[in-house]
Structure 1
C-alpha cells in the first residue's frame, strides 16, 4: 500500500475537505441518512485549528495523495476522535484501522488512557466497525459532560437520539 502517517499541513486542507466529502458518499446507501452525503463537512477553519494544535494526521501515498485523515480533541486522560474519514478509493483497505492504530500509539506514548468518539449505532461502517476494532459503547450513565454535550448537539442537528452513541477504546 505504501502509505505513511504524517501531521496534516495547511496546504492539505482542500484535499482534506475532498476526502471527507468522498467518504460521506457511503451514506447514499442508507435511505434515512442520504442527506449526509450532501451535508456539511469540517470547515477549512476547523482544519486550520486542528493543524495549528498538531491534532490532525493524514495517511498519504508516496505521491502525497491523502487516503484518509483523523482529527482529535485532547483531554487530560483521553483523546476524542472528532473526525475520521477515508476517501472512497481507499475504503476497505485498512486505512481507517491504521489511522486509529497510529493515533492510539501516539496517544499512549503521551500518557492518554482512552480514545472516544460518537457515531451511528446501526450503520455498518460506524459502531459495528469500531466494535470490531475494540471500541465499546459507553453506557449513558457513564458519559462525561463533553460526550453528553456532543450527543445532545447531534440530536439538535436532527439526528434521532437512539441513532447515535459514544464509544471508547481503552489504551494499554
Structure 2
C-alpha cells in the first residue's frame, strides 16, 4: 500500500469510497449518517489545491468482491495503473494553527489493514515537516470505529480550554447540521517535531494538551 497526493481525476472515486465506508453506520442505528452525501467535488478540489488531500493506493482493486459490496465494482473497474487505485483517502484543513482531519475513510473491502492509521501518520509527518504542533479532529464518541479507534491512533479527547475558536466554529457547524443527535467530541494528537541537533526537546503546546479520554470515519 502506498500513500500519495490525490489526483483531480480521482475525486469522484473518493466519493465512492466515502459512500461505501458510510454504510456501516446503519449497523449502529445511524441510518441518517449512512445516507449522508460525501463531500462535494468542489470541496474535495479545495483540499487538493491546498495540498491537503491524500490517497492510499493499491496496484489494483482486484481483491474487492463486487458481489459482497456493490461499490467495489467502481474500484475494480479502474484496473491497475502506474498511479495505483485509491482505496482510502484523507483530507485535512488548517484549524487554529493545527492540521485538522476533515475526513478519513477506507473502503470496507480494504478495512482492518492499518490503512487509516497510515494515513493519519502521513498527516503527522506533514505536520512535523511544517512545524505544526498538533493534529485535531471531531468525531462520534461512542461509535467503535470513531473515537475509540482514534484513541488507538494516539488521539485523546480535548479539554474545553484546549479547544480553539476555529475548532469551536467547526463544532457549531456540525451542531447546526444535526450531528449532535449523537455525542461528539474534539480530539487532538500532539505532533513530535523534527529534532534540531543540539536543541532541547520542545514543550507540548497548549493546543495539544488534552484530558482523559480519540478515513475510523465520521
Shift of 1:75: 4.4
Find the counterpart in structure 1 of residue 175 from structure 2: 155
Shift of 1:159: 2.2
Find the counterpart in structure 1 of residue 108 from structure 2: 88
Q: Summarize the alignment of residues 44-63 of structure 1 with structure 2, pairs less than 5 Å apart.
A: 44-62=41-59, 63=80
Mapped partners of 1:144, 1:165: distance in 2: 13
Shift of 1:160: 2.4
Mapped partners of 1:95, 1:139: distance in 2: 28
SS at match of 1:160: helix
Establish whether residue 20 from structure 1 lines up as the match of residue 13 from structure 2: no
2:139–2:186 CA contact under 8 A, matched in 1: yes
Shift of 1:76: 6.6
Find the counterpart in structure 1 of residue 118 from structure 2: 98
Find the counterpart in structure 1 of residue 131 from structure 2: 111
Q: Which segment is superposed worse, 119-128 or 59-68?
A: 59-68
Find the counterpart in structure 1 of residue 145 from structure 2: 125
Mapped partners of 1:50, 1:41: distance in 2: 14
Unaligned runs of 5+ in 2: 60-79, 193-218
Q: What number of residue pairs does the alignment pair up?
A: 169
Q: Where is the helix percentage greater, Structure 1 or Structure 2?
A: 1
Shift of 1:157: 0.9
2:96–2:164 CA contact under 8 A, matched in 1: no
SS at match of 2:171: helix
Larger radius of gyration: 2
SS at match of 1:71: strand
RMSD: 1.4
2:95–2:166 CA contact under 8 A, matched in 1: no
Report runs of 4+ in structure 1 exceeding 2 Å deviation: 74-77, 159-162
- Per the normalisation by structure 2, the TM-score is 0.74
Unaligned runs of 5+ in 1: none
